[in-house]
């Protein structure tokens, strides 16, 4: 029988990972600091929406480790009411998650040792990152598959959720996505992937959008005079982003084709030397 | 400013055996009576299945671990090496690796460490789907394991289920709901057509796993199994009727010592993460825990069971 065997040697950057709870009003955020001595830069990773957390988790963490191994300090976290963070999901919305981002970016900026701060948002986290960057929170911005609005995230999440649910129900109990959209608009809650979506969350999502300056044909790098990189990930990036096909063996998938050029962009944009892994 | 513990939660790393495993510990609530707190307790160890982190889908494991801890059963959720927050290499064909018991030794070691670190009387292992497979293998090799709670276990050897498909496709079928339906339908067709080998088992059975099952069930280890309803898309056709009932098979082998309980939860999904599934698991598991592991009645009976297994 093949058994998991002991890791011969843990990389220093992995041993330096520090998990903790960061206090915010009414909750504690689960954070993992990929601590680095004399960092060349710092990155706050702002992840995807609650339902996509478990699928994107491993490649997102690998990206954090990839950067930390190259002397870029990383802080990743779970939103209030999601994952390892405390708080009640149904009592929380986009403005609270925006507050999470602002508090953590302020904390990261105050860390000892002067280093530029990069906000990196994935999917819904892209909207939060862009808004914080718009408000002057950081020196550079990276967006991976950021939607134009939070409502688009909720719609696509619900549409993806509904298909498999239909298979579990008798034909007479099956409802199209529009049925659930209507319930939310009429003030009822809907449970999706184990999370209770409230009418307030839905209503908030309608006006929670990327800043106009980030939306084509505008060029955010010109508007902000700070480095901005916007990448739309395709099917090959699954399971980091949904919508792509799962081809099996997701745990061992190699993302260096995505990590390397993004790291090189960070290094060149902020004029930091390319570090060795 | 960043804390490593809250009133009832603590972020920990288990690494006594040199393999670092990250986890979240849920301590018993402060309102537990002093006399109860003084007694050695049974802990619950949650395993993560495949790539899903230790919160499980919809953060359902956080809910269950908090609930069990509030009932007096300290709980720990861990990420297997290479998954979630735990560092390590991951086998390319993870499903087959797990089906062959690849994580058993590390889990057995972590059960022991969990028990020693928190002064527990023993540990109940909680595993979902692929996590259930690991739980069964680990339980049969560790004396600190006093019980099992498993949800939607499976008994097929994935590589034998669909030999004409690529291993990647088999992996996909194992982890998606659509794949679940296709897999179930295909398994039934194959079972119906295939001559049964290994006694009465279908040819695609994971014989090694079933042998461990039989050993555990007949040892008298308390085991609670939850099954969600079959996808309605399978209908009530001959496909359902043709399915081999592994649980019935295991129960039939158990003998008089068996303490196996089976709960079927209709109306929930594979993950049990929805409101109905969560509540059902919480309710039944808590009753089961109190029945088999009342605070004052924890004995070392499991040690004698382990000795019997080792013979």
Quick: pLDDT tens for B201-220.
Answer: 888 889 999 999 989 998 99
Residue at B2 is within a domain? no
Residue in A10, A138, A93 with CA at minimum distance from that of residue A130: A138
- Alpha carbon distance B285, B168 (integer Å): 35
Number of domains in chain B: 1
Distance from CA of A65 to the nearest CA of B (A): 10
Residue B308 has pLDDT above 60, yes or no: no
Low-confidence ranges of chain A (pLDDT < 70): 1-2, 5-8, 243-249, 275-277
Residue at B60 is within a domain? yes
pTM to 2 decimals? 0.89
Of B245 and A116, the one with more pLDDT: A116
- Which of B23, B232, B239, B267 to mutate against chain A (most A CBs within 10 Å)? B232
Q: Which of B92, B176, B231 sits opposite A246 (nearest CB)?
A: B176
Residue at B1 is within a domain? no
Q: Check if the beta carbon of residue B240 is closer than 8 Å to that of residue B229.
A: no
Residue ranges of E strands in B131-197: 145-151
Q: Provide the b/e sequence for B164-180 (b: ≥16 CB within 10 Å).
A: ebebebbbbbbbebebb
Q: Check if the beta carbon of residue A84 is closer than 8 Å to that of residue A91.
A: no
Residue in A42, A18, A41, A39 with CA at minimum distance from that of residue A30: A18
Residue B30: give its domain's CATH number: 3.40.50.1820
Contact between A58 and B84 using a beta-carbon 8 Å cutoff: yes
Q: Which of B24, B82, B105 sits opposite A84 (nearest CB)?
A: B24
The DSSP bridge pattern shows strands A72-77 and A27-34 to be antiparallel
Q: Quick one: CA torsion of A107, A112, A113, A119, rounded to 10 degrees?
A: -10
A265 three-class SS: helix
As a whole number, the mean pLDDT across chain B is 83
Q: What is the DSSP letter of B162?
A: -
- Residue corresponding to tokens 């700070």: A226
Residue B305 has pLDDT above 50, yes or no: no
Residue at B21 is within a domain? yes
Residue B233 has pLDDT above 70, yes or no: no
Average pLDDT over residues B280-293: 97
Residue in A89, A85, A44, A80 with CA at minimum distance from that of residue A201: A89
Average pLDDT over residues B272-295: 95
Residue at B3 is within a domain? no
- Alpha carbon distance A60, A252 (integer Å): 13
Residue at B75 is within a domain? yes
According to the model, what pLDDT value does residue B198 have? 54
Residue ranges of E strands in B213-273: 223-228, 260-265
CATH class of segment(s) A12-148+210-269: alpha beta
According to the model, what pLDDT value does residue A206 have? 97
Sequence spans of domains, chain A = 12-148+210-269, 150-208
Give me the domain span that covers residue B111.
9-310
- Alpha carbon distance B9, B151 (integer Å): 24
Average pLDDT over residues B189-208: 68
Residue at B204 is within a domain? yes
Q: Check if the beta carbon of residue B218 is closer than 8 Å to that of residue B139.
A: no
According to the model, what pLDDT value does residue A137 have? 83
């Amino acid at each position: 029988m093949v058994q998991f065997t002991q890791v011969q040697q843990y990389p220093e950057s992995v041993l330096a990972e520090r998990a903790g709870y960061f206090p915010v009003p009414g909750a504690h955020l689960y954070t993992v600091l990929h601590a680095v001595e004399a960092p060349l830069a710092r990155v706050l990773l702002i992840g995807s929406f609650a339902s996509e957390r478990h699928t994107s988790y491993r490649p997102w963490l690998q990206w954090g480790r990839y950067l930390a191994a190259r002397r870029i300090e990383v802080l990743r976290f779970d939103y209030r009411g999601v994952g390892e963070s405390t708080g009640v999901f149904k009592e929380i919305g986009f403005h609270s998650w925006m507050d999470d981002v602002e508090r953590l970016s302020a904390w990261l900026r105050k860390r000892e040792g002067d280093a530029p701060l990069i906000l990196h948002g994935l999917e819904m986290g892209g909207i939060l990152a862009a808004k914080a960057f718009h408000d002057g929170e950081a020196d550079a911005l990276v967006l991976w598959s950021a939607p134009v609005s939070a409502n688009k995230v909720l719609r696509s999440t619900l549409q993806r959720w509904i298909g498999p649910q239909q298979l579990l129900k008798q034909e007479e109990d099956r409802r199209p996505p529009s049925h659930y959209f209507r319930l939310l608009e009429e003030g009822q809650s809907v449970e999706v992937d184990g999370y209770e979506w409230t009418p307030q969350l839905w209503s908030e999502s309608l006006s929670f959008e990327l800043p106009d300056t980030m939306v084509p044909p505008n060029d955010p790098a010109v508007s902000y005079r700070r480095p901005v990189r916007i990448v739309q990930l395709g099917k090959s990036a699954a399971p980091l982003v949904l919508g792509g096909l799962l081809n099996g063996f997701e745990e061992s998938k190699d993302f260096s084709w995505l990590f390397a050029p993004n790291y090189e962009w960070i290094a060149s944009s902020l004029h930091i030397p390319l570090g060795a892994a | 400013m960043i804390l490593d513990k809250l009133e009832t939660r603590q972020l920990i790393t288990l690494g006594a055996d040199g393999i670092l495993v990250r986890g979240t510990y849920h301590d018993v609530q402060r309102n537990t009576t002093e006399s109860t707190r003084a007694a050695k307790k049974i802990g619950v160890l949650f395993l993560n299945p495949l790539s899903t982190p230790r919160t499980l889908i919809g953060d359902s494991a956080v809910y269950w671990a908090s609930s069990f801890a509030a009932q007096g059963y300290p709980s720990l959720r861990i990420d297997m090496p290479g998954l979630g927050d735990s560092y390590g290499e991951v086998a390319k064909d993870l499903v087959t690796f797990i089906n062959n018991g690849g994580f058993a030794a590390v889990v057995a070691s972590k059960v022991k460490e969990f028990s020693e670190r928190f002064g527990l009387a023993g540990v109940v292992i909680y595993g979902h789907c692929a996590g259930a497979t690991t739980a069964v293998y680990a339980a049969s090799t560790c004396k600190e394991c006093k019980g099992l709670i498993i949800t939607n276990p499976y008994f097929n050897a994935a590589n034998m289920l669909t030999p004409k498909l690529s291993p990647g496709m088999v992996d996909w079928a194992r982890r998606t709901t659509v794949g679940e339906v296709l897999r179930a339908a295909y398994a039934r067709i194959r079972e119906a057509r295939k001559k049964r080998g290994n006694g009465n088992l279908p040819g695609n059975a994971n014989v090694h796993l079933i042998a461990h099952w039989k050993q555990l069930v007949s040892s008298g280890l308390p085991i609670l199994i939850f099954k969600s309803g079959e996808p309605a898309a399978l209908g009530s056709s001959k496909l359902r009727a043709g399915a081999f009932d592994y649980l019935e098979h295991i129960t039939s082998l158990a003998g008089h010592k068996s303490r196996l309980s089976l709960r079927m939860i209709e109306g929930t999904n594979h993950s049990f993460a929805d409101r109905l599934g969560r509540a059902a698991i919480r309710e039944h598991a808590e009753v089961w825990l109190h029945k088999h592991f009342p605070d004052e009645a924890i004995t070392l009976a499991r040690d004698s069971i382990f000795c019997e297994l080792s013979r």
